Chains A and B, each alone.
Chain A
Amino acid sequence: MSIDKIRNFSIIAHIDHGKSTLADRILEKTYTVADRDMEEQLLDNMDIERERGITIKARAVRLTYKAEDGETYIFNLIDTPGHVDFNYEVSRSLAACEGAILVVDATQGIEAQTLANTYLALEHDLAIVPVVNKIDLPSADPEKVCSEVESVIGIDAMDAPKISAKLGTNIEAVLERIVKDIPAPTGDENAPLQALIFDSYYDSYKGVIIYIRVKEGKVRIGDEIRLIATGAEYTVVETGYLDATSFNNVGELKAGEVGYIAAAIKDISETRVGDTVTLVDNPCEKALPGYRRVNPMVFSGIYPADGAKYGDLREALEKLQLNDASLSFEPETSVALGFGFRCGFLGLLHMEIIQERIEREYNLDIITTAPSVIYKITLTNGETVYIDNPTNYPDAGSIMSAEEPMVKAEILTPSDYVGNIMELCQERRGIFKDMVYLDETRVSMRYELPLNEIVYDFFDALKSRTKGYASFDYEMLGYAQSKLVKLDILLNGDIVDALSFIVHSDNSYARARKIVEKLKESIPRQMFEIPIQAAIGGKIIARETVKAMRKDVLAKCYGGDITRKKKLLEKQKEGKKRMRKLGTVEVPQEAFMSVLKLD
């Protein structure tokens, strides 16, 4: 197959605008997947992705398509995540492509996140193929959406294919546009190997599998390869491509192609996404430009529910980090929770996804502490410290001034919800900047918000106050002075370090009240009365009490049948595993999360 018959592309879409469905239809139309193998949303092969209807990890699939010009083309479809937290992953997927399909919902128009990803694609000089989806819906207005794409993004969209991915309408037009509008890759297969690692994951049989886009040269089984950034060298055991259902070990990848390498790589820390692969005996002159490193913005502690699983948790985090370089972690200890890790995430959704993946893919029960941002504290001795863990927050007496990170947020919403959003942003200490009507019904609102206020449940709150219509995007703005206090939670009189968090002093009383109420709901009655208190610097500002349980007894033991009692005892044993014992108080794992959802 010559290089000019290859098309490498991604699909960019807002959540729910139909990216995965379109990918499915493309797979069907290219006969890559036999009907009986067709499982809805084949590309999203993680359970969480399917349940949440979002795409988390980039995947690459090779398809063949016989175009109207009679020629057969190879398509490499590289999947990208749609959510704001995953900009970094989008960026690395795009670096492996020459073009991107931009899917826009004909009923909703272009959304903030789509815009951000489209700009990312334009930064990478990709060709954009706009596609208007969901034309089967009664409220679809494809013409209006096309003109919106033109005015907002500035690309020609009048002849954009108007499709229904759900019904399979007009998918061929999309395939033809891929052939015509997306340029073939360039590169010389005889040049020294230069391949970009854009994803990787750990396979328990083959070791680390790296996904690559070959920019120059070729790689074959038996080749000695070097990963430039780490200097690690391996012998290629397998190389080839993925179709929709399996690995195809064809033994060679050439310039322009997308595929995988397995090289019995055991040390996951040596394969970095963004690194360049070359040959040991004929190396390329320089590495490809890597990805921009993203800095985690949200931090929280992750602890194994069962302290003995600390090693397993470390291993899980290492493996997740392998194909998610945006995850960072380092060991920490908590009085309440024992040994665990301080983890950094791109945002709250990223944090939730990582938690779920640890629990499902690695079968570990974990406890997560309240998320924190990085505070910048100037001490009375003139020193500046950065605090990402409330436990380490200095005493009020030694703080000269405190600063917190701010973000510039853009919220796109139907105009009906402007009032609700203003109210929400005010509650979250937002500073109104401006508001622009994109057309008669759609408004773009700009706010400056403390990151601290959006890492909890801002996104959920926004969705619930706009019936799910508003979308939200943010970028970092820097630090601003703030009146911050550390709020401690006491159970039965003892501070639980894992529940402490930083809050703006104006909100501290309301927040404290809510948290003690939430904790009261989630901590079951126990043998003693348990006071739950919230305190700032030793001063109690809120209190609730979990009353002592009064009745928990099996009165009957009939005819010498003690099996019921034994079953009960077994159940209690199981129950205790879901609990953390803090002093004399048994706290369910959910309680540590209850401080998160306060709206």
Chain B
Amino acid sequence: MSTENKVGLYIHVPFCAKKCPYCDFYSVSFGKKIARLYTDAVIRNIKSDRGSAEIDTIYFGGGTPSLLPVEYISDILKTITENFTVHDAEITIEINPKTVSPEKLLQLYNIGVNRLSIGVQSCVDNELKALGRIHSFNDAKNTVLSAYKAGFRNISCDLMVGIIGQTMDSLSYSINQLCEMPINHVSAYILKIEDNTDFNKQEIINSLPDEDLVSDMYLLMIEMLEKKGFAQYEISNFSKKGFESKHNLKYWKCLEYIGIGPSAHSYFNGKRTAVPDSLEDFIKYDRQIEIVTEENSTSFEEMAMLRLRLKEGLCLSDFKEHSERVISKATPLEKAGLVKINNDTIVLTPKGFLISNAIIAELIL
């Protein structure tokens, strides 16, 4: 069976030690008792009948999944292997520096977790402070090194662009520092101020680096990471060869994934569904509530929107009836250096990725 038919499993762990002021994802504060109730609910949901899908990626996202005690994670993983066919899976957990000890990392490795995504964000302490993070760069560095020591050979770090006080120099410092560590993947996000966050205040917005600077930083980052062997494979994702996140690629390639936990999303059997943002409900009900957000999710618009985020681009040979229109719209964009057209494949350039919302709208609407 090819990977194309295998399913990803996403577990949303909605606990945080402290809410980051820029984050609008669902989380509540951590407590051991509630975490146990949550874990039992996850286990119940895994056991409930979903057919006998073959799973090849498991991803613990959050929140801060690394807050969960290892035995809970182990219980969940065990239940997954008992209820699904799991073979040679990529098993990722998001880690926040300072929430895990070297021992815990070793335990995680021993129960079968084989990939870590570590929320480093920046290698400059002032920038970490500005983001309201609880860790220092030294904490992050120690976490990465301990993980490597524990045996992890597939480590990703998050990097943030557009932080208050960030400059071209400080960004290139962060990139150099990151790349000196034993990692194979970088997820690089541009800070975006979301409506329902503490950062959505005029004084914060005014002190952010301006559009031109952020754009220059993004382009610099691509250039530097590529030089250091981290190839861009998606707008925000870079990796050494063979270390692309199998799980995240499912999102862009419209492959199936099942989400478990409050605010988790699924794309399964052609339907897109979402679980409401309520830990209470998730614990209360035998089976999580799933709201259908898209009944039949195979439109060209959706596929194109997601594919264009990938460096491999949108191959129009699968969409013959749209091909001519899209190519004619892409042609002036190619002249402006925003896309490349290779036969019937359209690929955004780094400059194009920066304005991908506008380009995607132009090409597919």
Residues on A lying within 8 angstroms of B by beta carbon are 526-528, 548-563, 565-566, 568-569, 572-573, 576, 584
Contact = CB atoms under 8 A, between A and B. Distances in A.
Contacts, number: 106
11 contacts: A548-B336, A553-B235, A553-B353, A555-B188, A555-B192, A560-B265, A562-B306, A563-B272, A563-B274, A569-B305, A569-B364
Contacts of B309: 557
A76 to B, nearest CB: 56
Given A552-B355, A559-B61, A561-B274, A569 B360 contact: yes
A336 B252 CA distance: 38
Contact of B190 (A555, A561, A569): A555
A572 to B, nearest CB: 4
Interface in B231-284: 235-236, 250-252, 257, 259, 263-267, 272, 274
A340 B65 CA distance: 60
Contact of B356 (A553, A559, A561, A584): A553
A560 B250 contact: yes
B317 to A, nearest CB: 23
Nearest to B356: A553
Contact of A568 (B252, B259, B336, B357): B357
A526 B336 CA distance: 12
B302 interface: yes
A550 B305 contact: no
B38 to A, nearest CB: 16
A560 B266 contact: yes
Contacts of A558: 25, 61
A553 B212 contact: no
Contacts of A557: 251-252, 309
B273 to A, nearest CB: 11
Q: Top 8 closest A-B pairs, CB basis?
A: A550-B215, A572-B361, A552-B357, A555-B189, A561-B265, A552-B355, A555-B236, A555-B190
Given A559-B265, A562-B251, A551 B214 contact: yes
Contact of B336 (A527, A551, A552, A563): A527
Contacts of A566: 294, 302, 305
B46 to A, nearest CB: 16
Given A549-B355, A550-B215, A552-B356, A560 B259 contact: yes
A561 B359 CA distance: 21
A526 B293 CA distance: 31
A548 B332 CA distance: 14
Contact of B215 (A551, A554, A565, A569): A551
Contacts of A554: 192, 356-357
B169 interface: no
A555 B264 CA distance: 19
A553 B354 contact: yes
Contacts of A555: 188-190, 192, 235-236
B49 interface: no
A572 B236 contact: no
B362 interface: yes
B264 A569 contact: no
Given A528-B336, A560-B10, A560-B257, A551 B190 contact: yes
Interface of B: 8, 10, 12, 25, 59, 61, 188-190, 192, 211-212, 214-215, 218, 235-236, 250-252, 257, 259, 263-267, 272, 274, 293-294, 301-302, 305-306, 309, 332-333, 336, 338, 353-362, 364-365
A558 B14 CA distance: 13
Nearest to B61: A559
Contacts of B235: 553, 555
B211 A551 contact: yes
A411 to B, nearest CB: 43
A558 B189 CA distance: 11
A548 B235 CA distance: 20
A123 to B, nearest CB: 59
A584 B293 CA distance: 34
A566 B272 CA distance: 12
A538 B302 CA distance: 45
A555 B338 CA distance: 17
Contacts of A552: 354-358
Contact of A550 (B188, B332, B355, B362): B355
Contacts of B364: 569
Contacts of B365: 569, 572-573, 576
A553 B308 CA distance: 12
Given A526-B358, A550-B211, A551-B218, A563 B189 contact: no
A553 B357 CA distance: 5
B180 to A, nearest CB: 24
Contacts of B305: 562, 565-566, 569
Contacts of A550: 211-212, 215, 354-355
Candidate in A553, A568, A569 with the most chain B CB atoms within 10 angstroms: A553
A342 B265 CA distance: 53
Contact of A556 (B236, B338, B354, B356): B236
Nearest to B336: A528
Contact of B332 (A553, A561, A572, A584): A584
Nearest to B266: A560
Contacts of A562: 251, 265, 272, 302, 305-306
Nearest to A586: B362
A563 B190 CA distance: 19
Contacts of B353: 553
B338 A559 contact: no
A528 B337 CA distance: 10
A278 B10 CA distance: 81
Nearest to B301: A569
A85 B264 CA distance: 61
A549 B251 contact: no
A553 B190 contact: yes
Given A527-B359, A552-B354, A568-B357, A560 B333 contact: no
A563 B265 contact: yes
Contacts of A563: 265, 272, 274, 293
A565 B309 CA distance: 11
B298 to A, nearest CB: 13
Contacts of A526: 358
A575 to B, nearest CB: 8
Candidate in A555, A569, A573 with the most chain B CB atoms within 10 angstroms: A555
A566 to B, nearest CB: 7
Contacts of B259: 559-560
B189 A556 contact: yes
A554 B354 CA distance: 9
Nearest to A547: B212
Nearest to B267: A560
B150 to A, nearest CB: 25
A432 to B, nearest CB: 49
Contacts of B272: 562-563
A153 B112 CA distance: 99
B362 A527 contact: yes
Contacts of A553: 190, 235, 353-357
B334 to A, nearest CB: 12
Contacts of B293: 563
B158 to A, nearest CB: 10
A474 B263 CA distance: 66
Contact of B358 (A549, A556, A573): A549
Nearest to B365: A573
A549 B336 CA distance: 12
A576 B357 CA distance: 13
Contacts of B332: 528, 584
Contacts of B333: 527
A526 B10 CA distance: 37
Contacts of B354: 550-553
A83 B346 CA distance: 59
A273 to B, nearest CB: 46
A295 to B, nearest CB: 45
A549 B215 CA distance: 10
A552 B362 CA distance: 13
